[in-house]
Amino acid sequence: MENIIELHNLTKVYNDVTTVKLEKITVKSGEIYGFLGPNGAGKTTIMKMILSLIEPTTGKILVNGRDVKKNKDYLSQVGSMIEEPSYYPNLTGYENLLVFQKMIGFSEGNIWPTLELVGLTEEKNRKKLVRDYSLGMKQRLALAFALVKEPKILLLDEPTNGLDPSGIHEIRELIVRLAKVKGLTVFISSHILTEIEHIADRVGIINKGHLVYEGKIESIKSSNWIEIGGNFYQNNIGGF
105-142 pLDDT, tens digit each: 888 999 999 999 888 998 888 889 999 998 888 988 99
- pLDDT(239) > 60: no
Higher-scoring residue by pLDDT: 16, 236:
16
Determine contact, residues 167/179, Cβ cutoff 8 Å.
Answer: no
Residue 207, strand partner residues: 210
Q: How far is CA 10 from CA 80, 163, 186, 206, 209, in A?
A: 20, 32, 20, 13, 10
Q: Where are the domains of the chain?
A: 3-233
Return the CATH fold of 3-233.
Rossmann fold (3.40.50)
Determine contact, residues 68/52, Cβ cutoff 8 Å.
Answer: yes
List, for residues 140-187, the tens digit of each pLDDT value: 899 999 999 999 999 999 988 878 888 888 888 888 988 888 889 999
What residues contact 166, with CB distance under 8 A and at least 6 apart? none
Can you say whether the dihedral through the CA atoms of 33, 193, 220, 7 is positive or negative?
positive
Provide the percentage of residues in the chain whose pLDDT is more than 90. 56
**In which band, very low, low, confident or very high, does the pLDDT at 223 lie, cut at 50, 70 and 90?**
low
Determine contact, residues 11/57, Cβ cutoff 8 Å.
Answer: yes
Write down the pLDDT at residue 160.
Answer: 84
Determine contact, residues 4/185, Cβ cutoff 8 Å.
Answer: yes
**In which band, very low, low, confident or very high, does the pLDDT at 89 lie, cut at 50, 70 and 90?**
very high
Task: Indicate the residue type of 122.
Answer: E
